[in-house]
């Protein structure tokens, strides 16, 4: 009985320590989610403004620009997968990777090759474990993204998009990330960036009309300057959405883990008390039996 009590005490101690860690991580995620949501909200006006500008240029000009023209044949597609650097966020990274696998399967069925770009150590570990090839990988600060990283990713993707297929280039670019909808709901999302599919983060009303622009110099030069910035803003917006989603998922996962630890502590405490009562009962029985034996002698 004494050994059982020691085991339950050790389990209670270790589970209590784990609960403190879970609680600390929950508080950290909770304190950072507000800033992450504020960054998402702050990025929307610029992203929507540049989206409207690109929409106007693309819709009001009849030009044959590679960034807005659908190629006759798409043979290779680039897929950027945005996951997290750290775990303890529930199924956050697993859901994104599952969405990316579904997209890759769909592209393969359409006869397209897939060139994967990764963001986050979880995606890198997933592909390394399965010995799958990938292009480039970016890690570090997935829960606090920087615009410089978005610029680097955009440059790498646009460079591949501008390269011929025979030289390893791609014909279209997709991004797989988690869209932050609320503290409870985060949705894995696939967006095709190029060839251009203009989609605003917040839908405009039907009465909103695209502005009219006069271009100087030529429209092609305007697109050459405007579209890279558009891609940077879309990738950075996806990174911010993913960061907010990661923190929300981690906060929820840590709260659930803390609640489960509390339940385990209650269970082990009850079992320890039961074992202690059984030990006391056995000792009393032995004392009574000894006293009876002495009286009988």
> How far is C-alpha 271 from the geometric centre of its chain's CA atoms?
40
Q: How far apart are CA 1 and CA 254, in angstroms?
A: 34
Higher pLDDT, 239 or 292: 239
CATH topology of domain 25-198+216-252: Pyruvate Kinase; Chain: A, domain 1 (3.40.1380)
Is 50 exceeded by the pLDDT of residue 174?
yes
CA distance linking residue 184 with residue 162, whole number of Å: 40
Mean pLDDT of 59-73: 69
Give me the residue spans of the domains in the chain: 25-198+216-252
Q: Which residues pair with 147 in a beta bridge?
A: none
Q: Give the burial string for 113-136 (b: 16+ CB within 10 Å, else e).
A: ebbbbbbbbbbbebbeeeeeebbe
Per cent of the chain over pLDDT 70 is: 88
Query: In this predicted structure, which of 63-67, 137-141, 197-201, 253-257 has the lowest mean pLDDT?
Result: 197-201
- Using CA atoms of 36, 37, 38, 44 in order, give the dihedral in degrees to the nearest 10: 110
204 touches 55 (CB < 8 A): no
Beta strands in 139-214 (DSSP E): 172-180, 186-194
**Residue 290 dihedral angles phi and psi, to the nearest 5°:** -65, -40
200 pLDDT higher than 50:
no
pLDDT-based confidence at residue 207 (cuts at 50, 70, 90): very low
- For the segment 142-146, the average pLDDT, to the nearest whole number, is 90
In whole angstroms, give the CA distance from residue 5 to residue 13.
12
* Strand arrangement, sheet containing 137-138: 137-138, 113-119, 76-82, 172-180, 186-194
What integer pLDDT is reported at residue 194 of this predicted model? 84
36-45, 122-131, 280-289: least confident range = 280-289
When pLDDT is cut at 50, 70 and 90, the band that residue 206 belongs to is very low
> Which residues are bridge partners to 116 per DSSP?
79
pLDDT of residue 267: 93
d(CA 116, CA 173): 10
Q: What is the pTM of this model?
A: 0.82
Report yes or no: 167 and 40 within 8 Å, Cβ to Cβ: no
Per the prediction, the chain carries an average pLDDT of: 86
Question: Stretch 51-71: mean pLDDT, rounded?
Answer: 70
Model pLDDT, residue 113:
94
pLDDT tens digits along 247-293: 999 999 999 999 999 999 999 999 988 888 887 887 778 787 777 77
How many CB atoms sit inside 10 A of residue 236's CB?
23
Angle at which helices 2-60 and 219-296 cross, to 10°: 170
The answer to whether 31 and 248 have CB atoms below 8 angstroms apart is no
210: tokens are 């695209």
**Which of these, 177, 157, 139, lies nearest to 77 by C-alpha position?**
157
Q: Which two tokens stand for residue 110?
A: 């359409």
d(CA 242, CA 129): 23
d(CA 24, CA 2): 33
């Amino acid at each position: 009985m004494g050994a059982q009590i020691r085991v339950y005490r050790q389990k209670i101690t270790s589970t209590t320590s784990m609960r403190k860690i879970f609680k600390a991580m929950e508080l950290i995620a909770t304190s950072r989610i507000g800033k992450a949501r504020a960054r998402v909200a702050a990025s929307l006006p610029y992203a929507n403004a540049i989206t409207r500008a690109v929409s106007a240029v693309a819709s009001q000009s009849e030009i044959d620009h590679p960034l807005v023209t659908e190629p006759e044949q798409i043979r290779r597609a680039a897929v950027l997968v945005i996951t997290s650097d750290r775990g303890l966020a529930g199924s956050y990274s697993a859901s994104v990777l599952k969405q990316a696998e579904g997209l890759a399967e769909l592209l393969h069925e359409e006869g397209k090759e897939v060139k994967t770009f990764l963001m986050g150590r979880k995606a890198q570990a997933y592909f390394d474990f399965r010995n799958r090839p990938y292009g480039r990988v970016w890690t570090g600060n997935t829960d606090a993204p920087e615009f410089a990283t978005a610029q680097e990713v955009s440059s790498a993707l646009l460079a591949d998009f501008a390269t011929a297929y025979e030289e390893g280039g791609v014909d279209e670019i997709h991004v797989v990330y988690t869209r932050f909808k609320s503290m409870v709901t985060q949705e894995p999302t696939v967006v095709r960036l190029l060839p251009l599919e203009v989609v605003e983060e917040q839908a405009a009303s039907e009465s909103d009309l695209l502005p009219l622009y006069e271009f100087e110099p030529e429209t092609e030069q305007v697109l050459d300057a405007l579209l890279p910035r558009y891609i940077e803003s879309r990738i950075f917006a996806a990174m911010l959405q993913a960061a907010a989603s990661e923190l929300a998922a981690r906060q929820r996962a840590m709260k659930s883990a803390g609640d489960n630890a509390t339940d385990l502590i209650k269970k082990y405490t009850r079992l320890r008390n039961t074992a202690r009562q059984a030990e006391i009962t056995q000792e009393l029985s032995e004392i009574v039996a000894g006293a009876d034996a002495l009286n009988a002698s």
